[in-house]
Structure 1
Amino acid sequence: MTGLDRELPAPHHHADVSGGTLRPAVFGAMDGLVTNIALIAGVGGGGVTSHTLVLTGVAGLVAGAISMGLGEYTSVRSQNEQVRAEVAKERLELERHPEAEARELANAWIRRGLPRELATQVAEVLRDNPREALRVHVQEEMGVDAEDHPSPWAAALLSFVFFSIGAVVPLIPYLAGLSNLWAALGAGGAGLFLAGALVARFTQRSWWGSGARQLVLGAAAAAATYGIGTLIGVSTT
């Protein structure tokens, strides 16, 4: 065993940060929580009955989950189609002007500090390997993987499911037989804090800081809608 071999660090693994799964899950859960907390606070501030409030919350859950799912599907699919179009454009450039594209890649590496001779040599080697050349050019110029695209169906399903989970949390006290707006808002606040704390597991932030951030944002939205609901409820009585 050589000295270099002995100095190799232990293998480590990274989370999948480009697969498109964490964002729709987190966004869906947070949006579901904030949307229904704010909706329930606004309607509750207007002085409606518990039955009307639950009906409003359930309608918000269903409508929001469908909207989130469709929105994520359309967004991710459109992004994938745009990436594919740009990749096709880059493939055509590599076929038509391989030498110019190789120089462009080499110059980009030189600007980053790579020796000119080495940058040129690597770019020329890639020029003779079209598939790898395309992958590297797309990564360097657009910052995306030419072959790995997030699934729009997975993004849609995750958004739908996690929005539903988040949106049902502030309804739990009512579904359990309580008729107290503040119990619902408390349950929603606890859900926001827990969701933020769970996200910290993937981001290396402090769990309490991440949880508190989500709680404050959700509380601000609830306070705004509660105030509006109270004003409208008073003005219509």
Structure 2
Amino acid sequence: MTSDSPPEPYSSDPASPSNADLKRWRQYLADERAEAATYRYLAERREGEERDILLALAEAEGRHEEHWRTLLGDDAGRPTRASFRNRMLGLLARRFGSVFVLALAQRAEARSPYAQDPNATSAMAADEQIHEEVIRGLATRGRTRLSGNFRAAVFGANDGLVSNLALIMGIGATGVSSTFILISGLAGLLSGALSMGAGEYVSVRSQRELLEASQPTQITLSAAKSLDIDANELVLVYRARGMTKEAAEHRAAERMGLFSCDCDPSFSLNPEADNEGKRDEHESVGTGLGAAASSFCFFASGAVVPVLPYLFGLTGTTAVTLSCILVGLALLMTGAVVGLLSGASPLKRALRQLAIGLGAAGATYLLGMIFGTTAL
């Protein structure tokens, strides 16, 4: 539960609340209602376990809502509007219900004031801390599904923005014509997008091939029956996969059909878990063609931004300045998106992205001024 307004002096006596207490409780009540609604909106777009978890979170927020309604009693009055942050979360959850909303909800749960509010129970404060971890877990699932192609998309867009701005500024500083700068920018866009797409395809394909080569085969199923029980080399297979000697001996005995024991779940066979792990690893890497297409398209979309002023006929300092502004805004956006998905501060990530991108372009511009037209 979060609130946009700064905290006011708290009263520890709920029997005689001040006007500030009543105002704060009404805000808490409105925010709890909004958060419960957000989780229900998110649950509508999911099924199975994730849906059940989100509905359970909504139910917990309903318990918190009831706490504040009880404290307010007849003073509940006209419902207060939820905080701007919670209203926006609800709107985004209704429209999208994506991992971005979960990432925002994770940050919102981390800002709960209940730990410092004497009128909130310790159980409520603990609930909010646990809610943050629950949302973190759900958001992590979404991040895993996005991470392969999303990584290529973000890197492609950022590289396109920075590299083509640096190219345009470096060439522009030498004093060549605007037409030459435009042609160079378009050539940089095409060559860079092709290079990024090809490189990403090779990278992801190689990574998937390495994963496939590292996955254990099912040869143990057919070979186990013929192994010498007294010199069981199947134990070596499982020890090589990282098991302890005790666990490996237990697993080998099960494979050979000597016994089946559920006394220690960590020793028992669990092929479904093994397969799930295999799917998750490949899912987080993404596909070669998907990563290449994302990288190509997003590099091109980023690289076209610094070229736009020249496409519309601007020249000289005006074109360079506008290119820097447009690229700066785009860098802030990509940095904020990465920050949101990683659960970090969007502002810090945005400013870091801006500083790195414009710093690289500025260095190239200085080199262009140093070399001048004679270098061409």
Match of 1:150 in 2: 286
Alignment of 1:174-213 (within 5 A): 174-179=310-315, 180-213=319-352
From the superposition, tell whether residues 123 and 99 of structure 1 become closer, same or farther in structure 2 (CA, over 3 Å).
farther
Alignment of 1:86-165 (within 5 A): 86-87=214-215, 90-91=216-217, 94-95=220-221, 97-101=233-237, 107=244, 121-126=264-269, 131-132=271-272, 134-135=274-275, 145=281, 150-165=286-301
The sequence identity of aligned pairs, in percent, is 37
Q: C-alpha separation between the residues in 2 aligned to 1:108 and 1:54?
A: 66
Could you tell me whether the CA contact under 8 Å between 1:76 and 1:151 is conserved in 2? Answer: yes
**Could you tell which deviates more after superposition, 73-82 or 197-206?**
197-206
Could you tell me whether the CA contact under 8 Å between 2:208 and 2:282 is conserved in 1? Answer: no
Match of 1:42 in 2: 170
From the superposition, tell whether residues 125 and 217 of structure 1 become closer, same or farther in structure 2 (CA, over 3 Å).
same
* TM-score, normalization by structure 1: 0.77
Please point out which of 69, 73, 80 is paired with 2:197.
Answer: 69
Q: C-alpha separation between the residues in 2 aligned to 1:27 and 1:38?
A: 16
**In the TM superposition, what whole-angstrom CA distance separates every residue of 1:145-172 from its partner, at most 9, and x where no partner exists?**
3787621111011001110111111111
Query: How many angstroms does 1:188 deviate by?
Result: 1.5
From the superposition, tell whether residues 119 and 32 of structure 1 become closer, same or farther in structure 2 (CA, over 3 Å).
farther
Q: C-alpha separation between the residues in 2 aligned to 1:209 and 1:29?
A: 19
Could you tell me whether the CA contact under 8 Å between 2:144 and 2:283 is conserved in 1? Answer: no
Match of 1:5 in 2: none
Please point out which of 9, 13, 24 is paired with 2:152.
Answer: 24
Match of 1:3 in 2: none
**In the TM superposition, what whole-angstrom CA distance separates every residue of 1:60-115 from its partner, at most 9, and x where no partner exists?**
0000111111111111011111111111xx225744555455566653999xxxxx
From the superposition, tell whether residues 120 and 195 of structure 1 become closer, same or farther in structure 2 (CA, over 3 Å).
same
**Could you tell which deviates more after superposition, 155-164 or 197-206?**
197-206
- Which consecutive residues of structure 2, in runs of 5 or more, have no partner in the other structure? 1-54, 58-133, 224-232, 248-260
- Higher relative contact order structure (alpha carbons within 8 Å, sequence separation ≥ 6): 1
- Paired residues in the alignment total 214
Please point out which of 49, 60, 66 is paired with 2:188.
Answer: 60
Q: C-alpha separation between the residues in 1 aligned to 2:351 and 2:171?
A: 25
Could you tell me whether the CA contact under 8 Å between 2:190 and 2:300 is conserved in 1? Answer: yes
Q: C-alpha separation between the residues in 1 aligned to 2:199 and 2:328?
A: 26
Q: C-alpha separation between the residues in 2 aligned to 1:166 and 1:225?
A: 18
CA RMSD of aligned residues (A): 3.3
Could you tell me whether the CA contact under 8 Å between 1:134 and 1:146 is conserved in 2? Answer: no
1:171 has 2:297 as partner:
no
